[in-house]
Amino acid sequence: MIPSDCAVVVVGATGAVGREAISILESRGHRADRIRAVASARSAGSEIPFAGGSLKVGLAGEDSFAGAKLALFCATSGVAKQLVPAASRAGCLVVDNSSAFRADPAVPLVIPEVNGDLVRPGVSVYANPNCSTILMLVALEPLRKRFGVSRIVVSTYQAVSGAGAAAIEELSRQAAEVLAGREVTRNVFKEQCAFNVFSHNSAVDESTGLNGEEQKMISETRRIWSDPGVEVSPMCVRVPVERAHSESICVTLKEPASEAQVRDALAGAPGIELIDERSSNRFPTPLHASGKDAVFVGRLRADPGSPRDAQGRSRNHCLFLAGDQLRKGAALNAVQIGDRFFVK
């Protein structure tokens, strides 16, 4: 675990992920005088509630890291590219939540439950994967370990908070506007997000038809699993949910398995909680997952459109998950990387 007296810098402290990182540190008993909250000039000077008091937000700059041991970057890729080298030179362990270093072969891309062995002394900069990738691979890693995985077909139902605090405000404002019969105003999303579902707002590659979120899920899965041959077919969508992403997954295993074997592989796996109560129709929801650390998994079943062998086993299985993308999909994953580093 990260020592409670470890000096930690949170870059982008006033954003949705930065505030979540600070909340996690607070819940773990970290001292206020050992946390340095920094952000852009627009937010510098503001205060963040912390342990009955507050943290004063400083201006993020190359001098922000002196004397610190850990830097959690919860800002844009531009800020990360500018300031991560300075944090590293100052002797900080750096964990970056942006996309700045995810494709850099010199920077490990880490989900502790999946490839946490990459966290080791001598490596000072780590990248957090995309939130959708994190949630998916936490859920599928136990199946990969036991049966192997050759193909993933995934549809995401992504909360607006994945686009930041301004997107949360937009959803709330638009809902009020619709219910009041007023014209809807759009600032963050091109499409109306209240009472609507639309293709993920990242840019679409006209040659492939993939948007940026979908391409990340493909490339990051192959890198994290060190498996360039695994087939990943994603469809990423925004839904009018404030917080926590959901995903519907059909996975093709390399070895056939029964439903009971799949359930057994997932039960008790690190970072996973099963909610799969058919009799009461109770399964994971983003509302239940919001604010929680676990990835909740349910709707477990063999793919009804696929054949089974003489033992009733199938290579194709379906599941549904919900997970808080601000916690496990971002801030918590970064803190857990720090946990592994300081333990070693």
Give the orientation angle of helix 131-147 with respect to helix 259-266, to 10 degrees: 120
Q: Is 216 helix (H, G, I), strand (E, B) or coil?
A: helix
Give the pTM. 0.97
First to last CA, the chain: 9
pLDDT of amino acid 75: 96
- Give yes or no: 200 in active site: no
CA 293 vs CA 31, 270, 290: distances in Å = 22, 11, 9
Sequence-distant (≥ 6) Cβ neighbours of residue 29 within 8 angstroms = 4
Q: Is 93 helix (H, G, I), strand (E, B) or coil?
A: strand
Query: How far is CA 70 from its chain centroid?
Result: 20
Tell me the C-alpha distance between 47 and 124, whole Å.
29
Sequence spans of domains, the chain? 8-129+329-343, 133-325
- Going by the DSSP 8-state scheme, the letter that residue 282 receives in this structure is B
pLDDT of amino acid 73: 98
Stretches where the chain sits below pLDDT 50 are none
CATH number, span 8-129+329-343: 3.40.50.720
Q: Are 57 and 47 in contact (CB under 8 A)?
A: yes
Burial of residue 216, with CB atoms counted within 10 A of its CB: 0-12 exposed, 13-18 middle, 19 or more buried: buried
Q: Which of 139, 154, 113 is nearest to 332 (CA)?
A: 113
Catalytic residue among 131, 193, 236, 318: 131
Tell me the C-alpha distance between 110 and 129, whole Å.
7
pLDDT of amino acid 4: 86
Which pLDDT tens digit goes with each residue over 106-125? 999 999 999 999 999 999 99
Q: Are 93 and 13 in contact (CB under 8 A)?
A: no
Do 8-129+329-343 and 133-325 show the same overall fold? no
- Give yes or no: 245 in active site: yes
Domain spanning 133-325: CATH 2.60.120.10? no
* Cα Rg, the chain, nearest whole Å: 21
pLDDT of amino acid 164: 86
pLDDT of amino acid 16: 92
Q: Are 235 and 155 in contact (CB under 8 A)?
A: yes
Q: Are 47 and 56 in contact (CB under 8 A)?
A: yes
pLDDT of amino acid 344: 54
CA 107 vs CA 2, 70, 139, 212: distances in Å = 21, 16, 24, 20
Tell me the C-alpha distance between 210 and 233, whole Å.
10
Catalytic residue among 30, 200, 245, 317: 245
